[in-house]
Amino acid sequence: MTTEPGRATDPRPTLAVWKFASCDGCQLTLLDCEDELLGLTDRVRIEHFLEMTPAEGAGGERARLDGRGPYDLSLVEGSITTAEDAERIQHVRRISRYLVTIGACATAGGIQALRNFSDVDEFIAAVYARPEYISTLETSTPISAHVPVDLELRGCPIDRRQLLEVITAYLAGRRPRVPGHSVCFECKRRGTTCITVAHGIPCLGPVTHAGCGAICPAFGRGCYGCFGPMSRPNLRSMVAQLRHDGMSEQDIQRVFRTFNAASPEHAPVPDLAAEKQERPPATTETHPERPA
C-alpha cells in the first residue's frame, strides 16, 4: 500500500491513467470533459495522470512512469509495441482493481498495428535516420493480448459521453451501459437517411461500434470504422455490400485496415474479400440489425 500524504484519510476511490504507444488523443478526451471534470474530482481522486501533471520543477509532484498504486480504476491508452511496455502493463494490471482500455490503440493495436502485416525493419529503415537506435517489437498488440481487461471502450478517439458513463458506473459499482450496437442504429436515431441505400456510398456503419453519434453519414460520407467492430458484425454481408457498391478486393481490405487493423473480428476480411461473388446482395440482407 502507498504511504502518500493524505491518501489514508481520503475516502474517494482512486483513478490512474496510463499511456502506451498512442497519440494521447484518448487521454485528451478525459481532459476535454471540462464541465464534468470538477464534479468528477469530488468523487474520485485522480492519482496518476501524466498528461495533466505539471512538468518536473514547475511546482507539481514529480511525474513517475511506473505509478505505485494500488488504484481502484485504471484507464489504459495505447498498444504494446516494445518489450518494456509488455513488462509495464503487467505492473499496471497488478496494481489496478479494474482495468479499462480506451481507444483503438489499446483495444485493437491501433494504426500502428499496420506493421503486423509487413516487415517492421523496412518501416524503421524508411522512417529513422539511425535505425540502429530503435528497439521495437514486430507487432503492435492490444492490451487484452497481455493482461485480463475488465472493459474495452472503443473509438479513435473515444467518445467523452461513453467515457464518463464508464467512470461513473465503476464508481457506483454497476456495469457500464455501453451498448454494442452499430453506427446504423445511431443514424436511425438522428434521422439520417442511409447513404448506402439512397446514394450507393460504401459505408462500414452496419459493422461498426456505435459511440460517435454517426457523424460521417450525417455529412454524406461513409463510415470508415474508427470505432472498431460492433458486438456481432456480419462481415460476410458487409463485404458483399461493399463489393456491390463498387469496392475492389484491395479497397475492401484497406478500408478495414485503418484504425482497427488488428481487430480479431476483422481477421476473416481478406478471405471474404477474395471470394467470388455469386449474386449481388439484396439491400435488406446487408443490415445485421434488421429482421430477415
Residues that bind ligand SF4 (CB under 6 A): 22-23, 25-26, 77, 103-105, 110-111, 156-157, 183, 208, 212, 214-216, 223-227
- CA distances (Å), 93 to each of 89, 144, 152, 267, 288, in order? 6, 11, 14, 27, 36
Q: Which is nearer to ligand SF4, 223 or 269 (CB)?
A: 223
- Minimum separation from the CB atom of position 120 to ligand SF4 (A): 18
Residue pair 227/211 in contact (Cβ under 8 Å)? The answer is yes
Question: Which value, in Å, is the radius of gyration of the alpha carbons in the chain?
Answer: 21
Distance CA 44, CA 13 (A): 5
Q: Which is nearer to ligand SF4, 240 or 261 (CB)?
A: 261
- Minimum separation from the CB atom of position 110 to ligand SF4 (A): 5
- Minimum separation from the CB atom of position 105 to ligand SF4 (A): 3
- Minimum separation from the CB atom of position 235 to ligand SF4 (A): 16
Q: Which is nearer to ligand SF4, 18 or 71 (CB)?
A: 18
Q: Which is nearer to ligand SF4, 113 or 147 (CB)?
A: 113
- Minimum separation from the CB atom of position 123 to ligand SF4 (A): 17
Q: Which is nearer to ligand SF4, 113 or 240 (CB)?
A: 113
Buried b (16+ CB within 10 A) or exposed e, 70-107: ebbbbbbbbbbbeeebbebbeebbebbeebbbbbbbbb
User: Which single residue brings its beta carbon nearest to ligand SF4?
Assistant: 25
Q: Which position has the grid cell 513488462? A: 87
Residue pair 217/192 in contact (Cβ under 8 Å)? The answer is yes
